[in-house]
A and B are shown apart, each in its own frame.
Chain A
Amino acid sequence: MTSPTLTRPLIRTRWPAAIRTLGPPAVLVLGLCTWALGVGQLRPPAIGSYGLLASANPWFLLGLGMVVSGFLIELHRSAARGWVLGLGIVAVIVAIHATVPILYGTPEYAWVYKHIGVALALGQNGRVTDPSSIYQLWPALFAATASLGALGHVGPLTFATWAPLAFELADALVLLAVFRVLSGNRRVAYLAVLLYEGLIAWVGQDYLSPQAFAYLLWLGVVLILARWLRRPAPVEPRGRLGRLRAPVLAGLEPPPPTSRRRRAVAIVLVAVIFLVIVAAHQLTPYIALTGVGALVVLGLIRPWWLVVVLAAIAGGYLIPRYGLIAHDFGGLFSGGNPIQNASGSRGTHHAGAEATTALIVRGLAAGMWLLALAAIALRRRSLGRVAFAAGLAFSPFVVLVAQSYGGEAVYRVYLFSAPWCALLIAGAVYELRRPQLRWIVVGGVCGAALLAGLQGLYGPVAVNAVMPDELAASGWLYTHTPPGSLIVLAADNFPALDTADYNARQLEVMPADPQIGEAWLDEGNVSEVESWIAGLGHQSAYVVVSHGMAAYADYFGAPTGFTRLAHGLPTAPGWTVVYRNADVTIYRLTVR
Chain B
Amino acid sequence: MSPSRTALTAYAGVLASIVAAVLTLTAPVPAMSLIGTLTLACVPAGAAVMCWIDSGENVAQAALTLILSLTAFSLASAVMIWVAAWHPRALLVLAAASVVSCLARLRRADGR
A129 to chain B, nearest CB (A): 10
Does B13 interact with chain A (Cβ within 8 Å)? no
The verdict on A173 contacting B66 (CB below 8 Å), with A147-B77, A272-B75 known, is yes
Q: How far is the CB of B44 from chain A (nearest CB, A)?
A: 13
Q: Using an 8 Å CB-CB cutoff, how does the interface string of A145-175 with B read, 1 for contact, 0 for none?
A: 0111011111000110000000000100110
- Contact yes or no, A180 B60, CB < 8 A: yes
B66 to A174, Cβ gap below 8 A?
A: yes
**In the complex, which residues 78-104 of chain B have their Cβ closer than 8 Å to any Cβ of chain A?**
78, 80-82, 84-86, 88-89, 91
Residues of chain A in range 118-166 having any CB-CB distance to chain B below 8 Å:
122-123, 125-128, 139-141, 143-144, 146-148, 150-154, 158-159
- A183-207 interface code vs B (CB 8 A; 1 in, 0 out): 0000000000000000000000000
Does A223 sit within 8 A of B, measured CB to CB?
Answer: yes
- Quote the shortest CB–CB distance from B48 to chain A (angstroms): 12
Most buried by A among B38, B40, B86: B86
Query: If A150-B88, A216-B70 touch, does A173 touch B62 (CB 8 Å cutoff)?
Result: yes
Please name the residue on chain A nearest to B55 by beta carbon. A227
Out of B38, B59, B71, B78, name the residue touching A180 (CB < 8 Å). Answer: B59
- Which chain B residues (6-57) contact chain A, with CB distance < 8 Å? 24, 30-31, 33-34, 36-38, 40-41, 49, 53, 55-57
Q: Is the CB of A216 within 8 A of B67?
A: yes
Question: Is there an interface contact between B64 and A223, defined as CB atoms closer than 8 Å?
Answer: yes
Contact A220 B67 (CB under 8 A): yes
B109 surroundings in chain A (CB, below 8 A):
none
Task: Knowing A126-B86, A148-B38, say if A140 contacts B77 (CB, 8 Å).
Answer: yes
Q: Check: A256 CB closer than 8 A to any chain B CB.
A: yes
> Within the complex, which residue of A177, A217, A262 is in contact with B70, where a contact is CB–CB below 8 Å?
A217
- Cβ contact within 8 Å between B91 and A227: no
Residue contact A170 to B81, C-beta cutoff 8 Å: no
- Closest residue of chain B to A179 (Cβ to Cβ) is B59
Return chain B residues, CB-CB under 8 Å to A216.
Answer: 67, 70
Q: Report B53 CB to chain A, min CB distance, Å.
A: 7
A72 within 8 A of B: no
- CB atoms of B64 and A151 under 8 A apart: no
Could you say which of B34, B56, B81, B85 contacts A143, with CB atoms under 8 Å apart?
B81
Given the contacts A148-B37, A151-B40, A151-B89, A140 and B56 also touching, CB distance less than 8 Å:
no
Q: Of B67, B89, B91, which one neighbours A217 at CB under 8 angstroms?
A: B67
Cα A272 to Cα B60 with chains together (Å): 18
The tally of CB-CB contacts under 8 A between chains A and B is 141
| Chain B residue total in the interface (Cβ 8 A) | 40
**Could you tell me if B59 and A173 are in contact, using CB atoms closer than 8 angstroms?**
yes
Which chain B positions have C-beta within 8 A of A534? none
The answer to whether B74 has its CB under 8 Å from any CB of chain A is: yes
Distance, CA A294 to CA B86, complexed state (A): 40
The residue of chain B having its C-beta at the shortest distance from the C-beta of A173 within the complex is B63
Give residues of chain A (249-284) contacting chain B, Cβ–Cβ below 8 Å: 256-257, 262, 265, 269, 272-273, 275-276, 279-280
Digitize A218-245: 1 where CB-to-B-CB distance is under 8 Å, 0 elsewhere. Answer: 0110011001000000000000000000
Closest to B49 in A: A269
With the chains together, A275 CA to B55 CA distance in Å?
A: 22
Once the chains bind, are A126 and B53 in contact (CB under 8 Å)? Answer: no
**Distance (whole angstroms) from the CB of A281 to the closest CB of chain B:** 12
Whether B67 pairs with A272 at a CB distance below 8 angstroms is no
Q: When A152-B34, A154-B33, A180-B57 are in contact, do A280 and B71 touch as well, CB less than 8 Å?
A: no
Instruction: Say yes or no: A126 contacts B41, CB within 8 Å.
Output: no
Shortest beta-carbon distance from A225 to chain B in Å: 12
A127 touches B75 (CB 8 A): no
Contact across chains for A153 and B74 when beta carbons are under 8 A apart: no
Q: How far apart sit A181 and B89, CA to CA, in the bound complex (Å)?
A: 37
Nearest CB on A from B68, distance (A) = 7
Query: Whose C-beta in chain A lies nearest to the C-beta of B88?
Result: A150
Q: Once the chains bind, are B53 and A146 in contact (CB under 8 Å)? A: no
Q: In angstroms, how far is the closest chain B Cβ from the Cβ of A165?
A: 13
What is the distance, in angstroms, from B76's C-beta to the closest C-beta of chain A?
Answer: 8
Give, as a whole number of angstroms, the nearest-CB distance from B91 to chain A. Answer: 6
Report the bound CA distance from A125 to B68 in whole Å.
27
Known pairs A126-B86, A227-B60; A152 contacts B37 (CB<8 A):
yes
Set of chain A residues within 8 Å of B33, measured between Cβ atoms = 151-154
15 contacts between A and B (CB under 8 A): A139-B78, A139-B81, A143-B80, A144-B70, A146-B81, A147-B41, A148-B37, A158-B30, A177-B57, A180-B57, A216-B70, A219-B67, A220-B68, A227-B55, A272-B75
